Structure 1
């Protein structure tokens, strides 16, 4: 049976939420939900493909658009503009991404019209990573979980879990902190939470790259905190893997580790959402 996918908008606590939904049709009885949480690139073609992979595995998968404001995505964060900005960033040294002076030097080498577009999009895009945005994103994810558990006919009354990547990985763990009914969180190379660890009521599974010290260096402290509070956390670190090894549209993609982590994630989700 085919996977049906569509964009839907529903009412959240802070305004409308725009999200990409996928499920194998027809849905005769409600199914567990997997909330798929985007990287900094948005709910792009890659994330939509990941949503459809989890749907094909028997879940209803939902990817809320973190870029959308009251259900509408700002023009500067349109998918084509974000893709152009992504391609540009991957063409320059990674250390330049977050160094405004070096980044501007690289932008200035582009044609004039492209410079204007890149500056506008990169300002918005990199602003998404500002920690001050986290609370709003978590509220949007909680609204998505509430909609799945309480309203949407395909998922009503069933467990809700999450899988997130990079920015979304951090938010997947944050959802575990902030939603006491959350069934389980899968984290792909996302920063772990530092506060309110004792609030976590569900298992967390994390996948990390051995060549990603900005993230992996944070894991032992989080592991210790989880252990202190009697929480369930498993960290899998793939040797020599870079950041974003799961993203098959990135030069960082590693098929072996992506394959292994996807299989392990499916096993984990089956365990935490078993009826």
Structure 2
């Protein structure tokens, strides 16, 4: 079953796209959006999480500013998305993720987070600030936060040909979090998304397998 639900928290009320697995859940995953909102790509990720046996909940973080925003992967979408996440800020985004995770925890579900791009940085902060096991896909804004210690298992995915995240930044992650799992793929930024020019099917498939292995270790 999939659909929108309401998420109430101290940072305000927003919607979340929830997908439940066919059988008893193995846990739950907060799916953290890119700057483009809870768009078809993020909803597809949530469906894949549910197919793997977890309750998936993708909070619509933009709802805190403007309800129902879904942006395209073009120059206009990038510009508007960047402006909106700048207005939202990381602190409020983490508070909204916390509200989503708390809703799932009240159902007795051990919960982790998976985030992409800007949401990859939010996923890191969900680990350091909320204690959630987390997977970060090409989190391009994480370097300023690498002084925050991990509080749970952590997995990072990066592209070796990412024009946004240079190799020095990837190495900074290795140095800051030697206990974390970190993988680099022969791909560019956004390689998991088949709506982006940098989509790389082989890298996306391998990263997804590693993500599911990580979730099984961290949540079961």
Tell whether the structures are fold-level matches, with TM greater than 0.5. Answer: yes
Q: What displacement does 1:129 show? A: 4.1
- Mean Cα displacement is larger for which, 193-202 or 5-14? 193-202
Flag the structure with larger Rg. 1
2:37: which partner in 1? Answer: 42
Relative distance call for 1:206 and 1:253 in structure 2 (3 A) is same
2:135: which partner in 1? Answer: 186
Relative distance call for 1:243 and 1:57 in structure 2 (3 A) is same
Q: What displacement does 1:193 show? A: 4.8
Select the residue among 207, 212, 217 that pairs with 1:261.
207
Relative distance call for 1:69 and 1:268 in structure 2 (3 A) is same
Query: Are 1:177 and 1:197, in contact at CA under 8 Å, matched by a contact in 2?
Result: no
Q: What displacement does 1:250 show? A: 1.3
Task: Say whether 1:23 aligns with 2:28.
Answer: no
Q: What displacement does 1:124 show? A: 3.8
Alignment gaps of 5+ in structure 2: none
Task: Say whether 1:145 aligns with 2:101.
Answer: yes
1:61: which partner in 2? Answer: 56
Normalising by the residue count of structure 1, what TM-score does the alignment of the two structures yield?
Answer: 0.73
Q: What displacement does 1:40 show? A: 1.1
Relative distance call for 1:244 and 1:196 in structure 2 (3 A) is closer
Select the residue among 2, 10, 29 that pairs with 1:5.
2
Q: What displacement does 1:264 show? A: 0.7
Distance 2:168 2:4 in 1: 37
Task: Encode CA deviations 1:141-199: one digit per residue, 9 max, x unaligned.
Answer: 1111111102xxxxx2221111111011111101101113x2x1111100335347454
1:233: which partner in 2? Answer: 180
What's the C-alpha RMSD, in Å, of the aligned pairs?
2.2
Distance 1:262 1:123 in 2: 28
Which runs of at least 4 in structure 1 moved beyond 3 Å after TM superposition?
121-124, 193-199
The 3-state SS of whatever aligns with 2:194 is coil
Distance 1:136 1:248 in 2: 29
Normalising by the residue count of structure 2, what TM-score does the alignment of the two structures yield?
Answer: 0.90
The 3-state SS of whatever aligns with 2:38 is coil
Task: Encode CA deviations 1:179-225: one digit per residue, 9 max, x unaligned.
Answer: 13x2x111110033534745421111111111115324212122212
Task: Say whether 1:206 aligns with 2:156.
Answer: yes
- Number of residues paired by the alignment? 218
Task: Say whether 1:73 aligns with 2:67.
Answer: yes
